[in-house]
Structure 1
């Protein structure tokens, strides 16, 4: 296989750790923005997804090379597609969902549109995207595979760890994954403590109260 089609995939151990952590905790744990904007949401299958990114940058209005990235994708991969700003042309439909499910892929994230919504729902392969439209795309142009792309307002690199659920989608660089996981676990301990305090009738933590008092003084 052409080397440009290969990515460095994260270990199953780190993927399993990330799967057990709330996506909001992971987002909070990063010291830079790893969260896609509010337009990227689950349209098909709202279960949590976690997997390494295969990236694809299409020419606007064309989707020929979606077939190529489906061919090279491996079980557990997440296909992430930059449509170059296309809003009117679907780059994904029920047949591509069927292919992805047959290959046991994790999900597809599309900064753009899909179609065949009823068929996609029946297949139930996870799709996160912006739009659902009627019009198809042309299938005649080259595209770039496994390069840094833009999706949901952030940069996604091949091999980044993609996490998605009802809250949205984040992209964790592999080199930052361990640090983000450690911080996220600390965040979840803090949230658990706050939840216990609320159940005991303590509605404002001491640290938050001190901040409020300092602003009001």
Structure 2
């Protein structure tokens, strides 16, 4: 049986979920990411990859970064990579995108640069990142660990977190908070849909976007 929470999350956009975090006093919205395929939106459970600068210790077997996360993922999961070394090196590339797509991974979110962007677009694999590069990770960065806490936009993302990501932002939600976040986000989405209906019925914007809208995110103590 599928995760009903994911079904609900995939009907929401990042802004509705971000507004909900504000309403509930939670953190988790990461802005400034670039979508390699504008218009795409992903939502799923998180697997993480943490990279470090340099080469892997000599006593460790050679491993291609990201491969273990793909192997650990199921259909509909999202991979989140931390490449915050400041080194100009890709933390995700075309072969990884193809392997992840084959496994059913919904997309990747990278705190760092990615490469083979046109290839990801060509195969329809959503990639969100800080920027693009052609530089390989080899001899620059290596995979330190898979499925450990990583930092994205100053926020600590744990394996198993929920995420929704589109061109506006990536929004992460812990399993402990997901039920109340979904309930509140769905309420916000319903109210915004009603506002849209009223605007399309030619009601004045000042009437539709009045106190009801301004107080929609008031914190509930």
Aligned residues: 201
Q: 1:14 to 1:209 in 2, by over 3 A?
A: closer
Unpaired runs of 5+ in structure 1? Answer: 1-9, 212-217
2:14 to 17, 23, 28: 23
1:37 to 31, 41, 47: 31
Q: 1:132 to 1:203 in 2, by over 3 A?
A: same
**How far off is 1:196 after superposition?**
4.5
Q: 1:81 to 1:207 in 2, by over 3 A?
A: same
**How far off is 1:203 after superposition?**
1.0
SS at match of 2:80: strand
Instruction: Tell me which residue corresponds to 2:167.
Output: 166
SS at match of 1:46: coil
| Contact 2:13/2:164, CA 8 A, preserved across alignment | no
What pairs up with 1:167-182 in 2 under 5 angstroms?
167-182=168-183
- How big is the alpha-carbon RMSD for the aligned residues of Structure 1 and Structure 2? 2.6
Moved more, 140-149 or 68-77: 140-149
Instruction: Tell me which residue corresponds to 2:52.
Output: 59
Counterpart CA distance in 1 for 2:68 and 2:156 is 22
Unpaired runs of 5+ in structure 2? Answer: 56-62, 216-221
Instruction: Tell me which residue corresponds to 2:97.
Output: 97
Instruction: Tell me which residue corresponds to 1:7.
Output: none
Instruction: Tell me which residue corresponds to 2:81.
Output: 81
| Contact 1:61/1:86, CA 8 A, preserved across alignment | no
TM-score, with length taken from structure 1: 0.81
Q: 1:144 to 1:119 in 2, by over 3 A?
A: same
Counterpart CA distance in 1 for 2:8 and 2:213 is 33
1:47 and 2:48 are equivalent in the alignment? no
Counterpart CA distance in 2 for 1:117 and 1:157 is 26
**How far off is 1:117 after superposition?**
2.3
**How far off is 1:42 after superposition?**
1.4
